[in-house]
Amino acid sequence: MKLKTVTLYLIILTVLSFNTSVAASFPKAKGMEDISGRLGQWVAERLSLKASEIEVGRVRLMNGQKSFSDEQIIEVRAARPGRLLGRVLFVVTLSKNNETPFEQWVSADIQQVREILVARRTLRRLDVLQKEDLDFQSIRVRSQRVLYETDPEQVVGKRLMQSLRKGMPIRTTQLEAVPVVQRGDRVTIRFRSEGLEIVTVGVAKEDGQLGATIKVLNMDSRKLIFAEVFGAGEVRIVPHGKE
């Protein structure tokens, strides 16, 4: 009888120790600040950022709950996995006093703090960016869809597609490579067919990247033709049905 009592006592101790270790493996929510920290850390991990690059604000609890006290945070996930910035809805799995876990819906404003490139001065459309045109500025981003430029080496030498005021962010969609041929350039027009090549001079009537077809004024015939850009100051007329 004594042996059974001792065995039962040891089993109870083992179960209690196991429950204690499980509870210790999950941090307790000490308040709204702790929840904000966990949400920020979770978002940072998903976006491969440092926790310091994510700001969390205006945390609101759903389900009628007013605050957290000693609940253990087991899991955090976004209700909409594709949206991690802006006003985000989270599902937080909690457990209180080792009871059955339950889900708490939490909404919060999530912003990414980024160092981006901005215009150091007013820039005009079609300006080709130089290093002295650029400056860095810290901003808070609420959308993953907007692509801001952050590397000067990827920007210098590109052309603006729209004007920018001083301090305005530089976005990827506002830039383009400088055309190989620009409107007003004098170009060499080449026509080759069956071993015969004709060379003349023309004026580009529109910009063109490598491989683009543009309008060119033939200076000899004074006629407007279409030609393909194949080099700096060089265009060619491709015979119909050939490349």
Residue 27: CA count within 13 A, CB half-sphere: 10
**Rg, Å, the chain Cα set:** 32
Domain boundaries, the chain: 26-111, 113-177, 186-237
Domain 186-237 has CATH 3.40.1280.10: no
Nearest to 129 by CA among 81, 171, 192, 66: 171
Domain 113-177 = CATH 3.30.565.10: no
Q: Kindly compute the dihedral angle of the four CA atoms of residues 152, 158, 164, 170, in this order, to the nearest 10 degrees.
A: -40
pLDDT at 94: 82
The 10s digit of each residue's pLDDT in 85-115 is 999 999 988 887 777 888 889 999 999 999 9
Mean pLDDT, to the nearest integer, of 7-19? Answer: 42
Sign of dihedral through CA atoms 34, 104, 46, 118? Answer: negative
